Structure 1
């Protein structure tokens, strides 16, 4: 637009014709954001006329004027016309005017005024910048903040975003420039008006993209507030700090007795030597406990005591009946939960880092990962976390020396429940999940995290430990499976289960086969019997035996693990068979072979037979249970130095290996173990020499 057009536009802004003024200011709002255009507009005298319309126009003319003036301030021009009259007019519009298009422009102007740097030349002379510029007008219209918070629930997304942007500006300026007494009052006033609830609803809403920028800033400001409160050291010389600390003691409803004498009672000998330790502080100087969390820790503890006073008093009475080392330190627990939440939400993370995260996530349309609505319900999460602490303390029978362990369990619980909660999950559901989370499941999570932690730090060494433990477990289970073979077992004969050319019979077996491994583990002895006798047959009465050196393979329809297909020596039959079967194959010496030569050199005889004779069935076993099938199949395979294949055996190996790893990681002491009932007694070594062992598996 050239100079003539700008001059014409400025002339029409002062026209007596409402239609001409409306059209002129409508065109102006589309061009005024250009700094070069704005300079010419001001030189032509347009700024005075625009300010007049802002103060006196109505309807759409007013809406266009407000938008134009807001955009002029955004390019840092027109500040000389920002005065008390203008600010009061804008505040009045926000409080009294119902039209959305007027409210948007009005709020944008206030955002620029509140956010404008105080040290800017002319601005510093008038002092009409920052939150203080609005205070005279707010005194005239005290409902301003309430109306502002109400706009956060507007159906118009742009108005809603503008309102939140203005609230953010007021909060940031108050935190930055107000005294240590003023900004907390302002923040508490906003909270009392329902700003937390309104913003929480927006964060969980479906129009997240429309409100993204002001919501992110509000989340930043919430962290700044938490950080400021944390950085305020507790000082009993300050009246508000002294009142807060005294309020906690008064709420405890200290019962006189057991040497407890209130220090408020005049003429008393002295106050209780456990006045503060009774409430869960480390010493009788509670200030030292707030060193890490500052006044933020005091606020959280005070909020809990105030909102759950009956529970607090009941808890203290219950703890007083216990031994000193068994009492749950309530105050320290509260401060620990505050610290856990502070770390979980990364409160110390800078705005710049979060802004970079937003730029990355916005491009991926993945804002859900950045927004943390639960951060806004800090107090409720603190109470829920504290209740979880009490529950875990009771469930584990913890003592004072176990305090750190319970803190770690609560940390894992909050990371799992709060950290795993999606953006739209309601805070009440999170509270319920924290209350219902099972201790055993929490311990499993702790072990998984512990393994991952050690994996990161000791990756190579940890893998070496795993390999060693897996080898030890394999040897252990191998010995157990072979001992099953040494013990011997009864098997129904195959002829009893299958008729010629027909399906399997359901009739009871008519004869049995007893099989047992020899003590030297070289021969498999067996014999047929009409029935199962009262005792186990001796090896010397079993008429037949198989030299294991001639066994070539073991075939079975017992289910194997998913990764067993790579084992070429194991053949797994289809599962259409109606009964479990283990078939032992091998090479028998030819008729021409001399028995004496075979006895002297069975390996030579076996190699010779392979060249002249095919594989044949040496023995067929029909285990009646899956457990026996697993023991004998894997026992035979492991006896032949092959890998086990059944899921039951592999689960046992993994179980032993994993427990060994966990014990090494935790470095568990005997007195750390959790037993139901009395702890088992340690076996005595009295009367024992070096030749002894413990039958761990009970002869299975």
Structure 2
């Protein structure tokens, strides 16, 4: 391998009349100047002026190599002496007009280095003219080439990814310098100019492109830097306090007012000394000029304290983007009672804060540092190196802030109307709903999700869906906040709910039910259906029953049921209820056990039953009771038994509905201190635990419960709200009573 030429040879080549020698020297310099020791030797050998000459006078690939060599020097913070107005002018000119990609790439890199040159404040003050750095260094050249910024934004859609990266790096450098050094009123104008040229669309396209998935590429770093700078801009706008004395802020407020198309206001004329009011009235503002738009008072400036100028920008942008909707909404609100009007302006500011929190603008550590912009690039690279999920790293929807604000605000207005909300009591509740739908819809959007799809989802989300998301989110929120305490609450509610269901199921047994007795059908005669009535004794120890040829119209009393089973002798209860329970009925919840409290789970009237049509069976198994001591026949029969402790079937029941089967099977199991097994019972227990936990977490009162939602969850149980019973007229603790909503 040949040794690289020495510094003197390369410098001689730069000034040679031989074009081939010049090209060779420039080509070699591009790689060699990356070595600091070689760069120092090159400068000491007076190579800067020949390099400057090559930058200005050569063309084609030689000029591209010359700019690349100068870039290598500047990256080492060397060679700034030759970067004068002529070099900058040439770089800007080539960046705008030259067709060769390699030349444009290197000229853009040069401009990036100039705009983001890391200079200390002392060095800037000591250098004549303030030194060569920042936007002001290239501004004279930009004045000669007014199309530079437009061509720069167009480069973002180039097919060459390195060119895209260089163009975006220059955009980032210009934005950072504008914010740091452009002055309070200048940087917003410059940023708006870039946005008007389409920089948002260009960067958004790069974010969604396949090239951005290569996290090790310069393009990925430039994209993430732009995303961070966007957050910085949003934070800067939020920090600007609204001041109606400033012409720009006053103009923005006036725009909000005029776009609402206010009706002309003529105040009543003051009466003269004779009481005559026919004179011309004085010109005054409408008494609800700003409250009509949704502000709380007639001095709206203070209401932007939380959102700053960012909130004002969003409200103005909404009014401009949706002028017809804006006017129609205000007109609809004006005819509503004051309490039912949705405060549009406050809702807009609320959406601004929701988006601000969602994108974690306040938490971003992307401060603009004019002293050392390289430190920011290093932090970007660290985030790239430590992040593997591209979809979570890039947030292209952040760049569509205005469209997201418009869509979320329209959703907020629509949900307010659907919920019949009232101001001010429900304002913060609706704000929380908007926060939830933004988190669900915007937060779930991937890197390649188009903003139009997100807007469509925000337009179609319903109040019921938003509330369901809200309830689902409660578990996660309180699990994080309460942890072990929440587990204890659920365990306690589980025990209470199980005890409640045991009492309800046992009450069904105490009430009694009719069951067709398939084994007795042939004994009923004339093809009739044999029926069995079963009822639990009041002391919950005996299960009484009796067989009938036909089902009676009433409920037999316990004294008319001579047959009985001692529950102490029952060892198990077997059934096919769980297997035969209609899945669709359980899922749809067309009925619930609360209905069986009214009819005891009775089958259809006996005159409509043609035979025992059920295949659901409950088998009560246990040991037979010993015969009475005074019965010789029974003693003989018992003595002939092979094993007095052998289990046998004590009773069979054929429930007509799966609700009755659930009540009797689980009721018997609970009496035996066993766990319920049917889906119906377990579903109701889970429902009570779930609602109990939510009510405790929300600290709701009885009258605060959403009974319509509860009715939908129970799916069939008609639950009516009732007033909390008072204690008026009751004496002593024994006089206390409580009421439950009837089924």
Q: 1:258 to 1:634 in 2, by over 3 A?
A: farther
Q: Which stretch of structure 1 is more off in the superposition, 155-164 or 472-481?
A: 472-481
Matching residue of 1:682: 723
Aligned CA distance change for structure 1 residues 106 and 438 (closer, same or farther; 3 Å): same
1:163 to 163, 167, 184: 167
Residue pair 1:97, 1:103 contacting (<8 A) in 2 also: yes
Task: Write the distance in 1 (CA, Å) between the matches of 2:108 and 2:669.
Answer: 81
1:282 aligns with 2:307: no
Q: Is residue 2:189 matched to residue 1:189?
A: no
The separation in 2 between residues aligned to 1:257 and 1:424, in whole angstroms, is 50
Distance 1:279 1:175, change over 3 A: same
Shift of 1:389: 1.2
Quick one: structure 1 residues 96 and 691, their matched pair in 2 at CA, closer, same or farther if it must change by over 3 Å?
closer
Secondary structure of 1:524's match?
Answer: strand
Contact 1:123 1:129 in 2 (8 A): no
1:438-464 per-residue CA deviation (whole Å, 9 max, x = no partner) reads 222221222233333333333233222
1:383-411: CA deviation from partner (whole Å, max 9, x where unpaired): 11111111121111111121111111111
Q: Distance in 1 between matches of 2:724 and 2:234?
A: 56
Q: What is the match of residue 306 of structure 1?
A: 320
Residue in 2 aligned with 1:397? 420
Cα 1:237/1:610, change in 2 over 3 Å: farther
1:595–1:158 Cα change, 3 Å: farther
Return the alpha-carbon distance in structure 1 between the equivalents of residues 676 and 458 of structure 2.
42
Aligned to 1:350: 364
1:584 equivalenced with 2:588 (yes/no)? no
Counterpart in the other structure of 2:436 = 412
Please provide the CA RMSD for this pair. 3.1
Question: Deviation at 1:291?
Answer: 0.8
1:172 to 154, 176, 182: 176
Gaps of 5+ in 1: 499-507, 562-577, 597-608
Measure the CA separation in 2 of the matches of 1:310 and 1:2.
74
Contact 1:583 1:621 in 2 (8 A): yes
Do 1:118 and 1:124's aligned partners in 2 also have CA atoms closer than 8 Å?
Answer: no
TM-superposed CA distance for 1:4, in Å, is 6.2
Contact 1:580–1:622 (8 Å) recurs in 2: yes
In structure 1, how many angstroms separate the alpha carbons of the residues matched to 2:426 and 2:283?
Answer: 35
**Residue 351 of structure 1 aligns to a residue in which SS?**
coil
CA 1:595–1:663 in structure 2 vs 1: closer, same or farther (change >3 Å)?
farther
TM-score w.r.t. the length of structure 1 is 0.88
Say if 1:474 and 1:53 are closer, same or farther in 2 by CA, change over 3 A. Answer: same
- Whole-Å Cα distance in 2 between the matches of residues 521 and 166 of structure 1? 86
Correspondence 1:445-594 to 2 at 5 A: 445-495=469-519, 510-559=529-578, 579-590=615-626, 594=629
Q: Which residue of 1 aligns with 2:608?
A: none
Structure 2-normalised TM-score? 0.83
Q: Deviations over 1:100-141 (max 9, x none)?
A: 111111111000000013544685546332101111111111
- Total equivalences in the alignment: 659
**1:260, distance to aligned residue in structure 2 (A):** 9.6
- Specify the alignment match of 2:245 in structure 1: 237
* 2:671 aligned partner: 639
User: Structure 1 624/681 Cα, relative in aligned 2: closer, same or farther at 3 Å?
Assistant: closer
8 Å Cα contact 2:720-2:741 kept in structure 1: no
> 1 CA distance for matches of 2:148 and 2:353?
36
**CA distance in structure 2 between the partners assigned to 1:341 and 1:75 by the alignment:** 41
Displacement, 1:307?
1.8
* Cα distance in 2 between the residues matched to 1:188 and 1:536: 83
Quote how far apart the aligned CAs of 1:352 are. 5.6
Using a 3 Å threshold, how does the CA distance of structure 1 residues 253 and 447 change in structure 2: closer, same or farther? same
Say whether 1:668 aligns with 2:686. no
State whether residues 266 and 283 of structure 2, in contact with CA within 8 Å, keep that contact through their aligned partners in structure 1: no
Shift, 1:31, TM fit: 1.4
By relative contact order (CA 8 Å, sep 6+), the higher-ranking structure is 2
